[in-house]
């Protein structure tokens, strides 16, 4: 029986493509035992506002943090939770499905008491998977042997979870050595993020590259109809 796997670093309230990738595989490994990158998607994402795109950023400690693994990154304080939630309410209160999911997200923000960024991201990812009906097994890289070389590390992780197909985002084409996957007899498939349909998004012009919460608040139970890996029958 074939098994598909994908491996990515954790992101804060990721865009819809992140969840399409999770939904396309049998096991999704969050690779947080690698170096944290500043000004990346690890601790921030974008929402729509009447004035344009706006970054929701979790403040992380700068001293002693950079150069550390993502799993070791600590946040500065808990004030970010109230600030983020207020920004979400101000900009999505008029969205047609906001009230349906308001309590879920309000509790996510008010009930988050960890100071580790990776744990915060994981909590939101699990909650959003539940909203979308994604059943994929989520694993953490700390539970596996990790090789140093990037492509070899991915191949070895696939072997550890007994996956014979690896689904990768297109950005990894910059470093993945495809021949090594062939030699390991693991099928390499590239995720295609093109061709997404537009939904009823507040605050035009339309933008696909915002947090998944934008889609959820605007389309609710119909969110998966605007994603690529769900059965729309």
pLDDT tens digit sequence for 56-72: 999 998 765 557 999 99
Kindly report, residue by residue over 170-190, the tens digit of the pLDDT: 999 999 999 999 999 999 999
> Mean pLDDT across the stretch 22-44?
95
> Mean pLDDT across the stretch 181-205?
96
Say if residue 218's pLDDT is above 70: yes
Predicted local confidence at residue 63, as pLDDT: 60
The Cα 100–Cα 205 span in angstroms is 25
Mean pLDDT of the chain: 95
Kindly report, residue by residue over 106-136, the tens digit of the pLDDT: 999 999 889 999 999 999 999 999 999 999 9
Which residue's entry shows tokens 């670093």? 9
> Mean pLDDT across the stretch 4-20?
98
Say if residue 232's pLDDT is above 70: no
The more confident residue out of 112 and 200 is 200
> Mean pLDDT across the stretch 18-22?
98
Which residues contact residue 170 at a Cβ distance below 8 angstroms, ignoring those fewer than 6 apart? 190, 191, 192, 193
Predicted local confidence at residue 65, as pLDDT: 59
Kindly report, residue by residue over 207-216, the tens digit of the pLDDT: 999 999 999 9
Binned at pLDDT 50, 70 and 90, residue 91 comes out as: very high
Predicted local confidence at residue 90, as pLDDT: 98
Q: Where are the alpha helices (DSSP H) in 73-187?
A: 79-92, 98-110, 117-132, 150-160, 178-183
Tell me the whole-structure pTM to 2 decimals: 0.95
Predicted local confidence at residue 173, as pLDDT: 94
Q: How many CB atoms lie within 10 A of CB 24?
A: 18
């Amino acid at each position: 029986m074939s098994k598909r796997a994908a491996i990515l670093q954790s992101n804060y309230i990721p865009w819809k493509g992140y969840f399409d990738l999770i939904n396309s595989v049998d096991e999704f490994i969050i690779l947080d035992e690698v170096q944290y990158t500043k000004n990346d998607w690890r601790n921030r994402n974008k929402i729509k506002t009447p004035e344009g795109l706006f970054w929701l950023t979790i403040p992380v400690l700068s001293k002693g943090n950079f150069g550390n693994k993502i799993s070791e990154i600590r946040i500065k304080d808990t004030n970010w939770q109230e600030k983020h939630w207020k920004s979400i309410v101000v900009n999505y209160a008029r969205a047609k499905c906001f009230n349906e999911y308001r309590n879920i997200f309000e509790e996510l923000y008010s009930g988050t008491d960890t100071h580790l960024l990776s744990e915060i991201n994981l909590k939101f990812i699990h909650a959003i998977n539940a909203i979308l009906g994604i059943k994929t097994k989520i694993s953490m890289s700390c539970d596996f042997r990790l090789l140093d070389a990037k492509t070899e590390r991915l191949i070895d992780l696939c072997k550890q979870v007994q996956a014979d197909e690896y689904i990768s985002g297109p950005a990894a084409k910059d470093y993945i050595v495809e021949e090594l996957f062939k030699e390991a007899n693991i099928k390499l498939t590239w995720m295609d993020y093109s061709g997404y349909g537009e939904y009823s998004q507040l605050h035009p012009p339309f933008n696909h590259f915002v947090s998944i919460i934008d889609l959820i608040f605007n389309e609710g139970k119909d969110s998966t109809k605007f994603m690529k890996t769900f059965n729309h029958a």
